Amino acid sequence: MMTESKIKLSDHFTYSKLIRFTLPTIVMMIFTSVYGVVDGIFVSNIVGDEAFAAINLIMPVLMIPGTVGFMLGTGGSAIVAKTLGEGDQRKAEKYFSMFVYLEIILGILLSVIGIITIEPITYMLGADQTLAPYCITYGRIILLGLTFFILQNSFQSFMVTANKPVMGLFVTLAAGFSNILLDFIFVYVLNMEVTGAALATIISQLVGAMVPLVYFMKKNKSLLRLVKTGFKFKPILKACTNGSSEMITNLSFSLVNMLYNIQLLKYAGKDGVTSYGIIMYVGFIFVGIYLGYSIGTAPVIGYHYGAQNNDELKSILRKSFKLLAAAAFILTLLAELSSKYLAGIFVSYNDELMTITSRAIRIYSLSYLIGWINIFASSFFTALNDGLSSGLISFLRTLIFQVAMIFLLPVWFGLDGIWAAIIAAEILSLAVSLFLIFKNSKKYGYSE
């Protein structure tokens, strides 16, 4: 792997250089997903399918406050990268510091609110007396570490902007291995059930947040460090606008997951929720490749946009489409061929659940052929500081189109219609993404 110092944001990016520069972020996203999967494997196989279903029922709620980290991380890093491209490093450091301090304040506030409201929310989601205790216990422990989760999400973007993607990868690996080891100790050895799984998660988030925080507090060899700064409304608002697409994506993802669970409880009961949870774990890994590449290229795009290097913008866009299209074909084929084995990792002890889950994975995975365009397009506009276009793609893709399909398709196709809802939503979003890319080509200087 090429070291960070040999590739700079200001470089001309060939196919090889794009892959090498984004690879640490891609691996980071994949590994983040993998250690999330390990949580599910331990809970499902050791604690049982009821605990696994409960975690999947409450998880969308727990992810909602964490969207603050994605919003300020992606939106803030776009501003920081653009400012670096304009040649003002001191100003970039002040912006970076302001966003980090704001995340800490918001994390503490949202944590308190979440802990207070988690019990009534659990019952609103339809949890019965069997699932509710698992949901509440797991939820309250996870919310205690919310500030770490927000910072960890944010630093995934800022480490790339600081020209330290490899360090970001190592931090993620450290956090991930911590989670896996502690899952084994807490859940398997000490039999702490969902309490152990939750504790393993927040300790791993502590590692993922505090290592970068301490690094940036000191003098370092990156492009950024934490400095004294005040809070300025305009850049914060701009960051929220820029990062609104990522926040909308993750917020909508959580809301849509709740609706999926409600529909699945209606059409397939607890087994449907369990199958969907497995699909999400598997999907995190596959879609994580698209997200990792998009996050990895965003600072490069932002830098060259700020430096007005239009030829480089054209080149990056063209190369990214070709690389991601090839990845999409391979990933979809892999998911289709391995659906039975992926389901078996979680529920090999239940043949009926294995059959339902395997079929669900095969249907859902067809969305990987299309989804990469919408994910990259949204990230591309965020990097260009065009929060409106980015937010529109995310809002329509992850909320409007999916919600409509979740309720419409089951009317005609039953349970299969729920699994296929994502495919229809991606196709509709594709039209929006391509329209905005062509419409804004001259505005941002990447037209041929």
Dist CA 365 CA 333 (whole Å): 9
**Lookup: tokens for 142:** 């996870």
Quote the pLDDT of residue 3. 42
Q: Which residue has the tokens 């209606």?
A: 266
Give one word for 229, left, alpha or beta, with left for phi > 0 and alpha for psi -120 to 50. beta
Cα torsion 165, 167, 171, 176: sign: positive
In the block, tokens 């005040």 appear at 230
Q: What pLDDT is attached to residue 409?
A: 92
Distances 6 to 1, 9, 88 between C-alpha atoms, Å = 11, 10, 22
DSSP one-letter code for 221:
S
pLDDT for the residue 245? 61
Position 148 scores a pLDDT of 92
Q: What is the pLDDT of residue 78?
A: 78
Classified as helix, coil or strand, 185 is helix
| pLDDT for residue 439 | 87
Token couple for 306: 């700020």
Give how far Cα 344 sits from Cα of 113, 121, 260, 366, Å: 38, 31, 22, 20
- Closest listed residue to residue 419, CA positions, set 275, 284, 281: 275
**Closest residue by Cα to residue 55 from 318, 46, 230, 448:** 46
Residue ranges per domain, the chain? 15-444
* Token pair recorded at residue 233: 């409304």
Structure tokens at 437: 């890319």
In whole angstroms, what is the distance from residue 145 CA to residue 128 CA?
Answer: 26
Both structure tokens of 27? 């691996």
Q: Report helix, strand and coil shares of the chain as percent, to nearest 5.
A: 85, 0, 15
By the 8 A CB rule, do 245 and 381 touch?
A: yes
Instruction: Return the C-alpha torsion angle 388, 402, 370, 368, nearest 10.
Output: 120
pLDDT value of position 425: 92
Q: How far apart, in Å, are the Cα atoms of 317 and each of 34, 268, 291, 306? A: 29, 42, 15, 16
Helix, strand, or coil here: 227?
A: coil
Q: Which of 420, 368, 431, 364 lies closest to 397, judged by CA?
A: 431
**CA-to-CA distance for 158 and 180, rounded, in angstroms?**
25
User: What are 275's two structure tokens?
Assistant: 């199958």
Residue 6 per-residue DSSP state = G
With a cut of 50, which residues of the chain have pLDDT below it? Answer: 1-5
Contact 182, 200 (CB under 8 A): yes
Concatenated DSSP letters for 232-265?
A: -HHHHHHHHHHTHHHHHHHHHHHHHHHHHHHHHH
